[in-house]
């Protein structure tokens, strides 16, 4: 199964980032909170990131921050918050097929982790696969290695097949986040 951590790396295959210097410093603090397994500090930092990134003239910076917040929510087991963050980022990337495809895959993975959400997972994964197939077919992305898409499409199809054949994951039921950071974003 292609995991969220595996696929998160796909967001930066072209090596570009829109994160400004000050935002990067705060993201480093967020990663420190994750390394120390301190969700309370992480939620405080996510709130700071929201305030910093909404002032950015670059919508893609805000989207990247939302993705990082989603990743952190996932790492702490707050799957529904992670889905929310990814959904907000998806709306910021509406015209960028590659990022949209990756986000949809990650949402599908999160749904797969949540009991009784396998159908939602499959829907997200199929949309993601469709985007990748369209990107490849129309050569919509400038990629140094076009076979990269071929390989990922094979991996995606295998993951969907395994999920359909074996059902959803045997993960722990997601935790409820008392801070509800994502629902308070107001974006």
- Which residue blocks in the chain are alpha helix, DSSP H? 4-8, 21-35, 39-54, 59-75, 79-92, 97-113, 118-138, 147-166
Is residue 185 domain-resident? no
CA within 13 Å, CB half, 43: 15
Residue 59 is assigned to a structural domain of this protein: yes
Structural domain containing residue 18: 4-170
Are residues 61 and 20 in contact, defined by beta-carbon separation less than 8 angstroms? yes
Predicted TM-score (pTM) above 0.85: yes
In a domain, 56, yes or no: yes
User: By C-alpha distance, which of 105, 142, 138 is closest to 120?
Assistant: 105
What residues contact 145, with CB distance under 8 A and at least 6 apart? none
Q: Residue 89: inside a domain, yes or no?
A: yes
In a domain, 29, yes or no: yes
Contact call for residues 136 and 153 (beta carbons, < 8 A): yes
How many domains is the chain partitioned into structurally?
1
Assigned domain for 62 exists: yes
- pLDDT by residue for the chain (187 residues), tens only, comes to 899 999 999 998 777 899 999 999 999 999 999 999 999 999 999 999 988 888 888 999 999 999 999 999 999 999 999 999 999 999 999 889 999 999 999 999 999 999 999 999 999 999 999 999 998 888 766 665 678 888 999 999 999 999 999 987 665 455 666 555 565 554 4
Is 177 contained in some domain? Answer: no
- Look at residues 41, 43, 62 and name the one whose alpha carbon lies nearest to residue 52: 62
Q: Is residue 49 part of a domain?
A: yes
Instruction: Give the CATH number of the domain where residue 126 resides.
Output: 1.25.40.10
């Amino acid at each position: 199964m292609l995991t969220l951590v595996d696929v998160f790396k796909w967001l930066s295959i072209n090596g570009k980032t829109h994160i400004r210097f000050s935002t990067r410093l705060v993201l480093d603090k967020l990663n420190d909170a994750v390394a120390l397994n301190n969700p309370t500090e992480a939620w405080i930092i996510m709130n700071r990131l929201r305030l910093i990134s909404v002032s950015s003239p670059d919508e893609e910076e805000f989207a990247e921050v939302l993705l990082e917040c989603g990743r952190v929510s996932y790492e702490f087991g707050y799957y529904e918050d992670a889905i929310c963050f990814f959904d907000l980022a998806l709306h910021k990337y509406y015209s960028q097929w590659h990022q949209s495809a990756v986000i949809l895959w990650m949402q599908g993975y999160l749904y797969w982790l949540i009991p009784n959400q396998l159908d939602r997972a499959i829907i997200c994964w199929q949309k993601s696969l469709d985007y990748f197939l369209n990107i490849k077919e129309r050569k919509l992305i400038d990629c140094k290695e076009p076979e990269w898409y071929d390989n990922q499409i094979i991996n995606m199809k295998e993951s969907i097949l395994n999920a359909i054949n074996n059902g959803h994951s045997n993960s722990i039921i997601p935790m409820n986040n008392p801070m509800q950071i994502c629902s308070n974003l107001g974006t």
